[in-house]
Amino acid sequence: MTVVDKKCDLCEFLKESGPKTQILITKHWSVGLGNNHAYFGRAYATLRTHKGSLSSLDKEEWEDFEEVVRRLEKAYKEVFGA
Average pLDDT for runs of 10 along the chain of length 82:
62 65 91 78 86 93 97 92 79
Model pLDDT, residue 63: 98
Query: Helix or strand or coil: residue 74?
Result: helix
What is the domain-level CATH number for residue 42?
Answer: 3.30.428.10
- Between vectors from CA 70 to CA 64 and to CA 74, what angle results, nearest 5°? 145
Asked, for residue 3, whether it belongs to a domain, the answer is no
Task: Please give the backbone phi and psi of residue 48, each rounded to the nearest 5 degrees, phi first.
Answer: -85, -5
Asked, for residue 73, whether it belongs to a domain, the answer is yes
Asked, for residue 38, whether it belongs to a domain, the answer is yes
Asked, for residue 1, whether it belongs to a domain, the answer is no
Query: Which residues contact residue 74 at a Cβ distance below 8 angstroms, ignoring those fewer than 6 apart?
Result: none
Model pLDDT, residue 5: 62
Model pLDDT, residue 60: 98
Model pLDDT, residue 1: 45
Q: Tell me the HSE value of 80 on the side-chain side, using a 13 A CA sphere.
A: 10
Asked, for residue 2, whether it belongs to a domain, the answer is no
Model pLDDT, residue 80: 86
Model pLDDT, residue 74: 95
Number of folded domains that form the chain: 1
Asked, for residue 35, whether it belongs to a domain, the answer is yes
Asked, for residue 52, whether it belongs to a domain, the answer is yes
